[in-house]
Amino acid sequence: MITNQDIAKIVEKYDQKKIAIGTLGSHSSLNIFKGAKEEGFRTVCICKEKDAIMYKKYPLVDELIIVKDFTELLNEQIQEKLRKLNVVLIPHGSFTAYLSTEELTDSLFVPMFGNRQLLKWEANRKSQEDWLRQAGLRLPATFKTPEDIDRLVIAKLPGAKGGRGYFLAISPKAFHKKFKELVQRGLLKEEDLASIHLQEYALGVNVYPSYFSSIVKDDVELLAMDRRYESAVDSIGKIPAAEQLEIEVNPTYTVVGNFPIVLRESLLPEMMRMGDNVHKKAKELAPPGIIGPFCLETVITDDLKIFTFEISARIVAGTNVGIGTSPYAYLKYGENMYMGKRIAMEIKEARTQGKLLDILA
């Protein structure tokens, strides 16, 4: 486990006037780089050859490091290069998608804007649930075994990408029938049964509020809100029920894009309390709590109950809908504020106040 002392030693050698903001070339990198440039930072992008076109068309990157595979971020030569460039890494979804939690906590000796300790809480479904429940959030009920199913549940496989292999079931009998079918079709394996997570299906609409936890200002700001455009689930309704049955359609949830949304205003106070409480609990679990962006994945039902089924303790790509401005960022900061810029602003303020070590891990 890389400690705060390890990071402090690295930051000590940094030329603080020349700090650069770096990240993997994917997910929310344009958002992050635009914000960094607007706040006067140099930018460094670790990128695959095939994606370099993005940074030619949108020239936001000062230093492009081409890799074959994102795991090369762990190579000593690349880490050394990043440290020489005084890089602060901004973690996003591609970090956790292409690198393991252990690699991020044990092998990446480059300062990150975020709390490495929290990665462990986030990565494990059970500990993540404990964190959110202890923060007072409402979570969908979970069921220990299929025999306990007494309502509509969503069966989730650990590490399932885009909900592939997720399925819905209304009773123990329906569960076993579906499970058998999916095994026969080669989508699941018999041994998956033991690791399936059974969660109450909250029937409602998805809302993803994004917050920014400022250590410098000791405040949690509600900055953005989005919902996802998911294939195939968002298109199933386009075909009639008869054909749905014939093709034995099973919803998958591969993210293709995001929509901005504004929430019914009477729901905002609860959303704000939820953000505050999640950070407060994180402070107890792993001080100083969440550093920077985080997002709650929620479903809101028709009786206006907010169910949270996941947290991302980092920038989510849904904040890309707010590049430039968004209603919630506008309410707090006026024009031209968005997550990438808010991150850069925090790093700048921490540097001015001599508090860089408080926000890096």
**Amino acid letter, residue 148:** D
Calpha distance 346→357 (Å, rounded): 12
Calpha distance 293→222 (Å, rounded): 10
Q: Which is nearer to ligand AMP, 107 or 206 (CB)?
A: 206
Q: How far is the CB of 92 from ligand AMP (least distance, A)?
A: 7
Exposed/middle/buried for residue 18 (C-beta within 10 Å: 0-12, 13-18, 19+): exposed
Q: Which is nearer to ligand AMP, 9 or 164 (CB)?
A: 164
Q: Which is nearer to ligand AMP, 154 or 356 (CB)?
A: 154
Q: How far is the CB of 356 from ligand AMP (least distance, A)?
A: 27
Residue 284 carries which DSSP code?
Answer: H
Q: How far is the CB of 11 from ligand AMP (least distance, A)?
A: 27
Residue 282 carries which DSSP code?
Answer: H
**220: which 2 tokens?**
């949690």
Q: How far is the CB of 229 from ligand AMP (least distance, A)?
A: 8
Torsions phi, psi for 211 (to 5 deg): -115, 165
Calpha distance 211→181 (Å, rounded): 41
Residue numbers at the binding site for ligand AMP (CB under 6 A): 26-27, 93-94, 97, 140, 154, 163, 199, 201-202, 206, 228, 230, 253, 255, 257-258, 297, 299, 309-310, 316-318
Identify whether the C-beta of residue 14 lies closer than 8 Å to the C-beta of residue 42: no
Q: Which is nearer to ligand AMP, 122 or 230 (CB)?
A: 230
DSSP lists the bridge partners of residue 184 as none
Q: Which is nearer to ligand AMP, 297 or 358 (CB)?
A: 297
Chain residue whose CB lies nearest ligand AMP: 93
Q: How far is the CB of 134 from ligand AMP (least distance, A)?
A: 19
